[in-house]
Amino acid sequence: MKFDVTDPRADALSTSDPRLGVLIRRIGALNIRVEDDPFVSLVRSIISQQISVKAAATIRGRVLELTGEFTPEAIQQQDDQALRAAGLSASKVIYLRDLCSRVLSGELDFALFPSMTNEEIMNALTAVKGIGKWTAEMFLIFAMGRYDVVSGGDAGLQRAAKWLYGLEERKDKKYLEQVSHQWAPYGAIAGLYLWEAINCGAVDSASTLEEWIQTAEQSRLE
């Protein structure tokens, strides 16, 4: 997925939500990698659960070396001991086996996903052991390229929304719910820019959007 300030979708977001528009123009172009194999996307997600990015990359490499490829057949051919030796926890071995068995039996048919609604895909995925709502939402965005997804369970997005809009502290941390109505039908694009605001240090380096822009301008002129 590629977006810049001239993209009609980014322009629509800027029109409906001028404050988000300021962030979009400030950050500029985004080039987001979309996984073209849905099964591989889910395998990567399961392996990455609750561990660091570095550890996940190491374990993915070991599992791939063991299996030769990320396919249901290749993973199911390995015994539990070999998968555990590659770095997978006992629970993740169970999750991967459940995913593989559902794909091999046809219960989970990725060929049908393009014609399914977001809710239908979410229901199909969360039936798999180890796949929760957040993982399913990430799949919709980064494997299906669905633009109309806002992950309310993502703590980073909630934090970035609070920062961008200067929202008051809430015990329930539900900040997205106050502003995301402005983003339809491009909630996922808005989320990508909020994530980038965290990645580039804006959210943690300045108390407001205006302060971040001012600091950046001063640094540019020095």
What CATH number should be reported for the domain holding residue 13?
1.10.1670.40
The SS3 assignment for 102 reads helix
Q: Are 42 and 138 part of one and the same domain?
A: yes
Position 220 scores a pLDDT of 67
Q: Give, as one character, the DSSP assignment of residue 172.
A: T
**In terms of domains, do 172 and 122 share one?**
no
| Low-confidence residues of the chain: pLDDT under 70 | 220-222
What pLDDT score was predicted for residue 222? 61
pLDDT (0 to 100) of residue 61: 97
Residue 36: CB partners within 8 Å, gap ≥ 6?
none
Do 9 and 78 sit in the same domain of this protein?
A: no
Write out the two tokens for 202: 């804006």
- Confidence (pLDDT) at 32: 84
Tell me if residue 17 is catalytic. Answer: no
Domain count across the chain: 2
Identify whether the C-beta of residue 125 lies closer than 8 Å to the C-beta of residue 139.
yes
Tell me the pTM.
0.90
User: Residue 216: its pLDDT value, please?
Assistant: 81
Of the listed 7, 80, 154, 204, which one is catalytic?
154
Same domain, 44 and 134: yes
Give the tens place of pLDDT for each residue, 128-186.
Answer: 999 999 999 999 999 999 999 999 989 999 999 999 999 999 999 999 999 999 999 99
- Structural domain including 67 reads 38-142
Is 119 found in the same domain as 71? yes
pLDDT of the residue at 79: 95
